[in-house]
Structures are given as structure tokens and as C-alpha cells.
Chains A and B, each alone.
Chain A
Amino acid sequence: GQSLEQPSEVTAVEGAIVQINCTYQTSGFYGLSWYQQHDGGAPTFLSYNALDGLEETGRFSSFLSRSDSYGYLLLQELQMKDSASYFCAVRDPTGAGSYQLTFGKGTKLSVIP
């Protein structure tokens, strides 16, 4: 099976930088995904890291270290609209559930003025 750990809540100031960490335990591993979900809304895909290193997309960056089973999502120049829940997700390519994404419980980010 798989398990993912991420902080339940994070608070940051508008204009600042925040990092949301995710550690995972899986028997197999393809890569780490990140999703954003505003209250009452649908999750939307942010990023996917299959290889070690940093991927940048505008104000958002995502990092992966396969040797440490660890990744993070970095949000820069925070805006009020970034207040949302952020989920990391992994896929274990082994076994019957190889097409299945397993999600963490989510980190609720609150951006304050």
C-alpha cells in the first residue's frame, strides 16, 4: 500500500513564499503530483514530477527527491486567491492498483493580508 504525509494546515502572508511538504511510502513509484482545490470546488492539476529536481510553472514550483521519498510545492508571491487545499498524490505501478492515484489528506493554506 501507499501512505502520504503532509501538514494539515499552513498560514502565510500575502506576497510571501510558502512551502508545502509531502513525504510518501510506496512499494513502487512513478512520480509525485500536486492538485489545488478551493472550498466546495473541484481539484485542479498543478504539477507532476517524475524525476528528481525542481519544476517551475509561473509562481508555483514543485520539487522531488526520490531517494528521500520527499517532495514539496513552493508557492511564491502569494495571493489571496491561493487560499485553498493542496494535495500531493502518488501512483504505485505494481499490483492490481497500478492505474490508481493515492492522495494525501491535503494541506489547507490560508493566505492573510
Chain B
Amino acid sequence: DGGITQSPKYLFRKEGQNVTLSCEQNLNHDAMYWYRQDPGQGLRLIYYSQIVNDFQKGDIAEGYSVSREKKESFPLTVTSAQKNPTAFYLCASSPRDRGRLEKQFFGPGTRLTVL
């Protein structure tokens, strides 16, 4: 079955540590996205990538970094520079063309807690 996987489901880290969240898709989608969700805040875009080896900052990119070396993979690193990293992180993918780009497929999410 095609889909998006994120690991781990729950992640705990100590303050000051970097941590990398995994996102893999086998839908053959060109575009991939990372969102952060806080209670009552909806989904806010951190980074997105339209094609391999290219990515763009979203609205809240500070303290995060990404890479897109393979079409299937779009890992997100939460660095120690992120002031308030505790949140629910969602990865998504979609085709690139208009009308289909609006239909994004989401992974199950990673809940990150900073201790």
C-alpha cells in the first residue's frame, strides 16, 4: 500500500539537543512538506520541497533544517536554536501540478516533547 511513514511516533529530547524526524513516502510524489501543529493553532508550514535537491522555507523555518537527497525522503532536524520545539510534527506529500497540489497526503505525525 502507498503512503507516508513518519518515525518515531513519540520522541523525547533534552533541551539543547538536535533531533531528526524521519519522513518517507512511496506515492511517487514530487512535493513534500513539514508542518508543525500546536493546540488551537492549526497547521503551520516549516519547510517544503518541490523537487529533489531543492527546498524552500515556510512561515516558521527558524530553528529547523531539512534535506531532500532522495524523492522518497524528507527528514526534518529540530535544532537547539528552536526556542519552543514541543509540538506535533506532520509530514505531507503531493503531486506538483495545480489542482493536485492542493490534495496533500499526511503521515501519522511525530509528537516531540522537550524535557
Chain A residues packing against B (C-beta within 8 Å): 8, 30-31, 33, 41-45, 48, 50, 87, 89, 91, 96-97, 99-106
Whole-angstrom distance from the CB of B17 to the nearest CB of chain A? 25
> Is B42 in contact with A101, judged by CB distance below 8 angstroms?
no
Known: A99-B48, A105-B40, A106-B42. Is A45-B101 also a contact (CB below 8 A)?
no
Residue from A45, A50, A96, A97 in contact with B104 in the complex, judged by beta carbons closer than 8 Å: A45
Partner of B41, one of A31, A44, A101, A105: A105
Assembled-state Cα–Cα distance A45/B104 (Å)? 7
- Other A-B contacts than A8-B40, A42-B106, A91-B102, 6 sampled, CB-CB below 8 A, are A30-B98, A30-B102, A42-B90, A99-B56, A99-B101, A106-B40
B76 at the interface (CB under 8 A from A): no
Residues of B within 8 A of A106 (CB): 40, 42
B103 touches A (CB below 8 Å): yes
State which size class the interface on B falls in: 20 to 34
Q: List chain A residues, Cβ under 8 A from B56.
A: 96-97, 99
Binding site for A on B (CB under 8 A): 31, 33, 35, 40-45, 48, 50, 56, 58-59, 90, 92, 96, 98-99, 101-109
CA distance A100 to B55 in the complex (A): 12
Check A101/B45 contact, CB under 8 A, given A42-B108, A96-B56: yes
Closest 5 pairs between A and B when the two form their complex, measured CB to CB: A42-B106, A105-B42, A103-B43, A33-B102, A103-B42
Contact B31 A45 (CB under 8 A): no
CB-based contact B45/A100 at 8 Å: yes
Given known pairs A96-B56, A100-B58, A105-B42, the reply for A42 and B102 (CB within 8 Å) is no
